[in-house]
Structure 1
Amino acid sequence: MKKALSFVYLLLLFVSPGFAQKQATWIWYPGDFEIWLGNNMQNRRTERGTFLPPFWKLDSHYNLIDFHKDFDLTQAEEVDLFVEGKYNVKIDGKAFSGFPKRITVPAGKHKVSLKVFCQDRVPAIFVQGKNVVSDATWLVTFEDKEWIDETGKASDQSGTTWLKAGSWNFNDSQTPPSKFKLNTKELSAVKVDKKAGSLLLDFGKETFGFIKLRGLSGEGNVNIYYGESREEALATATCETTDFLQIDKTQKRDSTMELTKAFRYVNVQYDGSVSMDSVSMLYEFLPVADRGGFRCSDEQINKIYDVAVYTLHLNTREFFIDGIKRDRWIWSGDAAQSYLMNYYLLFDSPSVTRTMLALRGKEPVTSHINTIMDYTLYWFISIYDYYQYTGDKAFIQQFYPRMQSLMDYCLARRNKNGLLEGLAGDWVFIDWADGLSKKGEVSFEQLLFARSLETMALCANIVNDAPNATKYNQLATDVKGKLFSSYWNESKHALVHSRVDGVPTENVTRYANMFAIFFNYLDEEKKQAVKQHVLLNPDVPKITTPYMRFYELEALCALGEQSYVTKEIKDYWGGMLNLGATSFWEEYNPAKKGAEHYAMYGRDFGKSLCHAWGASPIYLLGKYYLGVKPTTPAYATYLIEPQLGGLEWIDGKVPTPDGDVSVYCSTKEIKITGAAGTGTLRFKSKTKPVCKQAEVRSVNAGLYEVTVEKGKSYVVNYRP
């Protein structure tokens, strides 16, 4: 009886929370998996079967990594080892022979270390004991900088830089990072037009995945032509993507294409004795759930929001990519907008950091990110935004040296005036716009440069680098000073576009002016001047890409012009829907007709009809209509300023690191449920508002505030 009780007692100890086995995860050198995965993904691009790799430098992972962690065990334990690569394992510097799959770590204080070499994959380890487990607290390096002298004595000093290990969600020993794949599910076409030797399939909307031929048999050729539009799928000579197969099998089999494609329509043509039972697709996706949401009284806006959500999901893959048909690359300017949309829909931080790390790559820096000057600067600004929304200091502390070296590259490329000007190898992009000059010192680049330097100052303070914080702040002040002394034109009430040979041009464009508004670089008088003389001025060249419409409409929202923006969203994004869009495009010009809408880059179907930057209503509606935004990092404090923008009511959620903020606003009442930190509801009312759950404070004439506490709900009766 005593033996049975003892066994039960031990079993209870083992399964109780205090004695439960800790969860191990695969770990690697931080940033290396992201770089390796990015290289694999970006080199899948083809056009009509031709391999098209990126045209910028691709870095590689470190192939020899040292992992270690110190443990203090109350009793010895058995530890299982799973490793990607060749390795040795040591306890307190003493190596085991061979490649052990299991070791015993004695009781007491011990250092467990593994050194791993792997060329074709990222060196990674999964260590599973009861307490000895691999996780992000392990330290890693790619060079240990230690040596042994002629007496056999190991060095007693080292200049090694140890970082915390990188990890994601690989929590199964049998699914290492190298086996990562996106999820798939099989879908059928909604319509099939079958003729002799051909099938034209319509999957009902823009989609992405692998085409699967079921019951394929016979001998002959199968040619597959993909189209985001019906016209593209039928244009067998000029469609962007294809697959060509030679079949010599008499026995029926299923055949899935090797590479994913973007399409709505698929034109399958076959000859000889080839036959097939059916054609389906494996839809490929990253399983990440929506946390944010938006609904309002206008059904067209609701439809636009839904299509924007679908567009973002299609472009949220291993990374945030530009578009699913053509490039399928990681572009920093495109990604910068996807991050912002993500904060209002998914709040998936790993997708943000994976993308930022893949873009940054390794030392040495030899060119701008994607070779584009503005895209390097967007990378810095994205870190600024990431910290505001997530409060993730650990990311900044880990990768601050990579930020510094990239900024050093930018600083080294300043001209004699201390400003950025395109040098050999620099692509100054700004936007796709006919006749847009990139010559000289462009004001838009200086504005992004100033914000990037402010980001570096912020990050320097986080890592307690006071001297560089002072340096970056001074540089930012200098650039901002030159921006206004050199580019502000009083007669035009705007920043001019550029200086050439030190002389300001007379040209006014929207770019620098609209960014200066939501960067809060303008005083109130200048903001109103820019609004009237630039943003609402039809004589200033219009913007035709959703890319820069994103920022133009943000500037107008920041100026309180939501009613105007509502109309613009309905006209612009609604215009794409009226043309049958099921996802939003890379570019939309209402003046174009018919198949002109599909052409770009000198190609009949070069335009992407599913581009991440087309999904910006997610961000605009979340930040400027629901009105939720952090005022200190990670929503420790935040603002809620609901704006109807001419709508009768709005209703939605905005995700934060610690729950969702719910907002409902109509012409009679506001309903709020708080989340992380402390919120401030700010609104205008013509009469004194009533809120039974909290005090309503009068800020000034017609402007009121209510403090919103975490998890509490509030109802305010008011009259806007």
Structure 2
Amino acid sequence: MKKIFLILPLIAALTTHATAQSNILKNQFKQGLTQDVITRSYVTPVKILWQSDTEGKQVINPEVLLTGYEGQLSTSGAGMCVLRSDDNRQASILLDFGTELYGGIEISAAIRGVKDPVKVRVRLGESVSEAMSDAIDNSRPGMQSATNEHSLRDFTLEIPWLGSIEIGNSGFRFARIDLLDKGVDLPIRAVRAIARYRDIPYLGSFKSSDERLNKIWETGAYTVHLNMQDYLWDGIKRDRLVWVGDMHPEVMTINTVFGDNDVVKKSLDFARNTTPLPGWMNGISSYSLWWIILHRDYYLHQGDLAYLKEQQAYLKKLVPQIAAKVSDGKENLDGGRFLDWPTAKNDEVIHSGLQALSLLAMEAGADIAGWVGDQELKKLCTTTANALKKHRPSDQGNKQAAALLSLVDLISPKKAAEVILKEGANGFATFYGYYMLEALAKAGKYQEAMDIISDYWGAMLDLGATTFWENFEYAESVNALPIDQLPISGKFNIHADGGDHCYIGLRGSLCHGWASGPTSWLTSHVLGIKVLEPGSKVVQIRPNLGKLQYAEGTYPTPLGTIKVKHVKQANGKVASEIEAPEGIKIIR
């Protein structure tokens, strides 16, 4: 005890000193100092996938790059990886960091005889093919689009003598380094990835008797986590923007895995503040609809009424703008008319989807208006919703349209399930696949939905994915080249050879948050956790195990974490154990 009291004054003194130092720092920068919410961590590569020389002449002692490094060079040059280029061969090496990450790399060069800097080329890639490719001009027809747009992934730089340098800011898993200068030795102690992420706990969890489903849940969670940067992005390599439609599956995953996080409010507010009416968010009318739906679903889970009321003034102008685009019950939205990429060229499907989304947004608006006590707004939302219900467009035999129409009762759940289940995972999509799964749940097709999750999202894992992709054609997965293998002539390259619209070939993003739907779906429908009242104060728990023998997990709420475990008994019935924080009413 005496020692504790002796230490306490020292701690107080150190704290006072640290505070003084912090104040000095702030004073130095006056108004220009902004604290970063993002954590930096260093990642050592796990594998050397390729090197230009295996005879120890141009690439010497490469295995040292796979060893731990404390971040401090010494004056000893022993035991280094050495790159040496000459007129006949260029020294090159391809590193695998084991998983997709967001950030750059650090190259630490050891002591050498000549102090001049040495020029190298660095190429980052979400796939091996991308890391081995040139950055090409996307405007030229037929090119594979491995561009330097949005984030540099192919660049040259000089490495200092006895020093470290950090370069890059992109989404990647693989890095290729080429020594461009000839006739010099470049001793390298380490090449480390610099991972940038929010250091937040995974409060939600999912575990079942199906390890493939477990891995899919985790991969969806990790995909969104990487996109939770300063704002909530759609992808960590390309775009890296606040796309409001993309945010809906992401926010549902955040609610499921991380609970409340300020990146959601910050991004929703950014979309509002950068979209003066009568503009549409991101120039796309459906994205303003998604903004309304997002606020309804976010408030339902988190229950921040003061924040919801901050949206009231904007909603009172946005809702009449939407209502004015409804004639005889039919939506006539202008601006960009868009659902997702696979439907982007089908005007009839887009109309069916926008009709459903308009109705969903007006129903969400009515809920919000009721919560904030705005009866005038609620009446307009309800009147517009009732008008929209009178027009029932065809699902066009399209899975996206069928899913949305079913979710607002414009077609029956049974009809929607027939369309969605036709040809199984073929025709599924990374973004709207989430709503297809929701529609299957509404039809009671839980096992069928789990089978498609295993087939469609699981196929990306089979192809080497550690995060889920912007786009994925299930039919292309047969005998395709995985992303972690070197290109093979004549074999379909899943990253380089496909794609359309803005994601042609290697420009396609392999970490896109809108693809995370199975994470929230598995928690909501297999664990059976469904929030019924704002702030998660009333939660329904009704599991649907299908063929699973058990499923268990946790779910974060503003009042604490719900824990559930469901085990199938010998008679086929499910026994459940449920622990809920005080203040939450559980309905079974």
Offset from partner CA, 1:285-329 (integer Å, 9 cap, x none):
011111110111112222222222222211222222111111111
Return the match for 1:548 from 432, 449, 457: 432
Distance 1:366 1:276, change over 3 A: farther
Q: 2:399 is matched with which residue? A: 510
Distance 1:434 1:411, change over 3 A: closer
Partners of 2:582 and 2:470 lie apart in 1 by 35
Q: 1:360 is matched with which residue? A: 272
- 2:468 touches 2:511 (CA, 8 Å); kept in 1? yes
Distance 1:427 1:189, change over 3 A: same
Return the match for 1:252 from 144, 162, 185: 162
C-alpha displacement at 1:410, in angstroms? 3.0
Q: 1:536 is matched with which residue? A: 421
The total of aligned residue pairs comes to 486
Partners of 1:84 and 1:550 lie apart in 2 by 49
Distance 1:548 1:440, change over 3 A: closer
Distance 1:461 1:544, change over 3 A: closer
Q: 1:185 is matched with which residue? A: 41
C-alpha displacement at 1:418, in angstroms? 5.8
Partners of 1:554 and 1:561 lie apart in 2 by 10
Q: Secondary structure at the match of 2:176?
A: strand
In the alignment, structure 1 residue 641 sits paired with structure 2 residue 547: no
Return the match for 2:95 from 201, 213, 227: 201
Please, which moves more after superposition, 370-379 or 233-242?
233-242
Q: Secondary structure at the match of 1:556?
A: helix
Return the match for 1:295 from 207, 230, 242: 207
Partners of 2:540 and 2:28 lie apart in 1 by 47
- 2:234 touches 2:512 (CA, 8 Å); kept in 1? yes
Partners of 2:505 and 2:216 lie apart in 1 by 26
Q: 2:469 is matched with which residue? A: 585
Partners of 1:372 and 1:433 lie apart in 2 by 16
Partners of 2:582 and 2:234 lie apart in 1 by 32
Q: 2:516 is matched with which residue? A: 615
Q: 2:567 is matched with which residue? A: 666
Partners of 2:369 and 2:218 lie apart in 1 by 40
* Residue type of the alignment partner of 1:632: E
* Residue type of the alignment partner of 2:403: M
* Residue type of the alignment partner of 1:643: N
Partners of 1:470 and 1:410 lie apart in 2 by 14
Higher strand share: 1
Partners of 2:348 and 2:185 lie apart in 1 by 57
Q: Structure 2 unaligned runs (5+)?
A: 1-11, 13-25, 52-58, 60-83, 85-90, 137-145, 482-491, 570-574
Q: 1:52 is matched with which residue? A: none
Q: 2:380 is matched with which residue? A: 471
- 2:100 touches 2:467 (CA, 8 Å); kept in 1? yes
TM-score, normalised to structure 2, is 0.76
TM-score, normalised to structure 1, is 0.63
Q: 1:3 is matched with which residue? A: none
Distance 1:676 1:471, change over 3 A: farther
Q: 1:628 is matched with which residue? A: 529
Partners of 1:342 and 1:248 lie apart in 2 by 40
C-alpha displacement at 1:463, in angstroms? 3.2
Partners of 1:181 and 1:340 lie apart in 2 by 22
C-alpha displacement at 1:284, in angstroms? 0.4
Q: 1:227 is matched with which residue? A: 125
C-alpha displacement at 1:417, in angstroms? 4.0
Partners of 2:513 and 2:219 lie apart in 1 by 11
Partners of 2:273 and 2:456 lie apart in 1 by 36
- Look at both structures and tell me which one has the larger radius of gyration over its CA atoms: 1
Higher helix share: 2
- 2:284 touches 2:338 (CA, 8 Å); kept in 1? yes
C-alpha displacement at 1:248, in angstroms? 8.0
Offset from partner CA, 1:566-600 (integer Å, 9 cap, x none):
21111112211111112111222232233442142
Q: Secondary structure at the match of 1:570?
A: helix
Offset from partner CA, 1:412-465 (integer Å, 9 cap, x none):
4x1654643353xx2212122267412598121122112222233333333332
RMSD between aligned residues: 2.9
Q: Secondary structure at the match of 1:376?
A: helix
- 1:545 touches 1:586 (CA, 8 Å); kept in 2? no
Report the identity percentage: 27
C-alpha displacement at 1:676, in angstroms? 5.1
- 1:189 touches 1:202 (CA, 8 Å); kept in 2? yes
Partners of 1:528 and 1:261 lie apart in 2 by 43
In the alignment, structure 1 residue 447 sits paired with structure 2 residue 345: no
Matches within 5 A, 1:173-572: 178-192=34-48, 193-194=50-51, 195=59, 196=84, 197-215=91-109, 218-238=116-136, 239-240=146-147, 241-247=152-158, 251-257=161-167, 259-272=168-181, 273=184, 275-277=186-188, 278-362=190-274, 364-412=276-324, 414=325, 416-417=327-328, 419-423=330-334, 426-433=335-342, 436-438=345-347, 442-481=351-390, 483-484=391-392, 487=393, 496-497=394-395, 507-519=396-408, 521=409, 526-532=412-418, 534-538=419-423, 542-572=426-456
Please, which moves more after superposition, 271-280 or 632-641?
271-280
Q: Which has the higher contact order (CA 8 A, sep 6+)?
A: 2
Partners of 1:642 and 1:342 lie apart in 2 by 21
Partners of 2:404 and 2:583 lie apart in 1 by 29
Distance 1:83 1:336, change over 3 A: farther
Please, which moves more after superposition, 437-446 or 611-620?
437-446
C-alpha displacement at 1:473, in angstroms? 1.5
Partners of 2:28 and 2:564 lie apart in 1 by 47
